[in-house]
A and B are shown apart, each in its own frame.
Chain A
Amino acid sequence: MSPQPLHVATARPLTFQPLAFPALRARAGFSGFPSPAQDYEQRTLDLNTRLIKNPTQTFYLSATGDSMEGWGIFDGDLLVVDRSVRPRLGHILVALFDGEVLIKRYALHQGVPHLCSAHPLYPPLPLEGTECQLWGVVRAVIHEYVP
């Protein structure tokens, strides 16, 4: 039996940590005193509020293909796409290009806006003179290591 290498040892598992889940709320108050736990009610971090700023306009898509790996987007990753964001240079976009749904980086190439991949095999697609339509802006990419 080999000892666990130090660098992967974490603090106590998350499940051991006392988190104030809302379910505890109902317990408060029968003695007439407010529960001290009440002060912590809203403190549990919610990933939804962090990643999803506009729930009504947010859709989830799934990435397919390997040519965005250079920007950290892998095949099968979950894309959090916000359709209410105005696209700016540098954003990762979901766009309709030539009848296909593509995920690309909106960036300058030789001084002109292009849809760019992070792969030498796929040259930047020029926006000018093409039927390119914005579908939404990718706000976050979720890569699950342990599915």
Chain B
Amino acid sequence: MIGLVDANNFYVSCERVFQPELEGRPVGVMSNNDGCIIARSEELKAMGIAMATPAFKLEGLHRAGRIHLKSSNYELYGDMSGRLCQLLRDACPQVAPYSIDEMFIYLDGLDPARCQALGAWLRRRIRRHLGLPVCVGLAPTHTLAKLANHAAKKHPRYQGVCLLHADAADTAALLKQTPIDAVWGIGRRLAERLAVQRIHTAWDLRECDHHDLRRRFSVVLARTALELRGTPCLEMNALDAPRQRIMTSRSFGKPTGVKAELMEALGRHAQRSAEKLREQRSLARAVMLFLNTNRHRPEQPQYFPHAMIPLAAPSDDTRVMLVAVREGLEQIYRPGHRFMKAGVMLLDLVDAEQYQLSLLHQPPRHRHHPALMATLDDINQRMGQGKIGFGLTPEKAAWQLRCHHRSNRFTTHWGELMKAGTHPGAIKACAKRT
């Protein structure tokens, strides 16, 4: 069985852990430089406020105190994401982060009843120990686990944990209700092509002959159909759903603790990720990187650090990613550990064509060089992956993010801790004094 643990409205939930007064209120988190809404609480969704609504349109509601808007606080979200991942690692044999708020767990050899029980236990534990609400989807394949998670979020009857058997009647019912573009890895354009073939739901795709799909569409689509039938045949990273996140990670041939080697690997991953980003014509708002030691060698010191670096403006420039990765490595590097694996993830993607540089945004630090990037990609495509890249990366950039509404970085800065009053009114009295 494969499980997908996905935090509900992750950014908003992180804010609420340390600001309990936001519980039950409409809360939105804004992109870098307070541009637009990138995360919403259920209450904000219920008010009909859409994703990517420009923040200035909500200024009135915010001032009137009817909604709460927060600048993105990537340090906090990154730290909570790391804790979530670690909590899962402590309980499950194998964990793979899929994005900042989604982690796959692999439960080989556990029977379904125990998987279900473990899912419910993890959900309770994460809520109690970290204060984060999550939903768990369990199924024999990645694609079905993703759908199971979606169902767990949407239908209260599952109580946050949904287990789908490949051949059960309720799985069939669910697949028949699932529009084809809600299936993992199927974008809008592909969905339109499939609609012409009268493939409208996940069930329609499942019932297709996969040889036929392979001939007429692609290997990946044929495999997706098999996955919907319960045959695992897709790797976690085979499907980067466009406009969500992009990850490149790899294990080292030989474990290393040398900073220069780590930087080299991370740099390569950053370049590859940026390439994928440009391929799908997106821009990223933040970069996350992580390192893993070998957890199967408990006698060696263990360390699973990660860092989140927000970008001043959404970007697809390899050089910007490299600067961010270098800054991140500076933050997390500790000598004396042998790292097994390194990865770079690009987050909170936005469509390059839709994104317009507003006057409020800072001009990018590097003059934008689409031609340079295009040439780079072209050469690498023709001559082979990673043929040319950047050796020297620009020195550390001084990010100046506009973040007037950012809450405290409760877990990463000593001066910004959450306050606990010794009696009712103590915090207010203290605020008045200063």
Contact = CB atoms under 8 A, between A and B. Distances in A.
A59 B420 CA distance: 12
B129 A57 contact: yes
A59 B418 contact: yes
A59 B18 CA distance: 10
B60 interface: no
A101 B430 contact: no
A64 B420 contact: yes
A64 B427 contact: yes
Contacts of B419: 61-64, 101
Contacts, number: 96
B423 A122 contact: yes
Contacts of B422: 63-68, 73, 75, 102-104, 117, 119
Contacts of A102: 420-424
A101 B87 contact: no
Interface in B96-150: 128-131
B68 to A, nearest CB: 14
Nearest to B88: A56
A61 B87 contact: no
Contacts of A55: 86
**On chain B, which size bracket covers the interface?**
20 to 34
Interface in B80-100: 83, 86-87, 90
Contacts of B423: 65, 67, 102, 117, 119, 121-122
B418 A101 contact: yes
Interface in A65-99: 65-68, 73, 75, 78-79, 83-84, 94, 96-99
Interface string A106-144: 000000000001010110000000000101000000000
Given A57-B87, A64-B427, A99-B20, A83 B128 contact: yes
Given A64-B430, A96-B20, A56 B420 contact: no
Nearest to B419: A64
A52 B144 CA distance: 39
A62 B420 contact: yes
Contacts of A100: 421, 424-425, 427
Most buried by A among B131, B410, B418: B418
Contacts of A22: 336
B238 interface: no
A40 interface: no
Interface in A40-63: 55-57, 59-63
A60 B430 CA distance: 19
Contacts of B410: 59
Contacts of B417: 60-62, 78
**On chain A, which size bracket covers the interface?**
35 or more
B421 A64 contact: yes
B426 interface: yes
A101 B421 contact: yes
Given A60-B417, A61-B420, A101 B90 contact: no
A56 B421 contact: no
Contacts of B429: 65
Contacts of A59: 410-411, 418
B21 interface: yes
A101 B20 contact: yes
Given A22-B336, A103-B420, A65 B129 contact: no
Interface in B378-434: 410-411, 414, 417-427, 429-430
A99 B425 CA distance: 11
A42 B86 CA distance: 24
A65 B427 CA distance: 7
Nearest to B21: A99
B162 to A, nearest CB: 26
A91 to B, nearest CB: 14
A96 B20 CA distance: 8
A75 B419 CA distance: 10
A101 B422 CA distance: 9
Contact of B129 (A56, A63, A99, A117): A56
Given A62-B420, A102-B422, A56 B430 contact: no
A83 B129 contact: yes
Nearest to B128: A83
Most buried by B among A55, A96, A102, A117: A102
Interface string B208-238: 0000000000000000000000000000000
Nearest to B84: A56
B418 A56 contact: no
Contact of A67 (B129, B336, B426): B426
B20 A63 contact: no
B418 A98 contact: no
Given A64-B421, A64-B430, A56 B20 contact: no
6 contacts: A25-B336, A56-B86, A64-B422, A65-B421, A65-B429, A103-B420
Given A62-B418, A102-B423, A104-B422, 4 more contacts: A65-B427, A75-B422, A102-B422, A103-B421
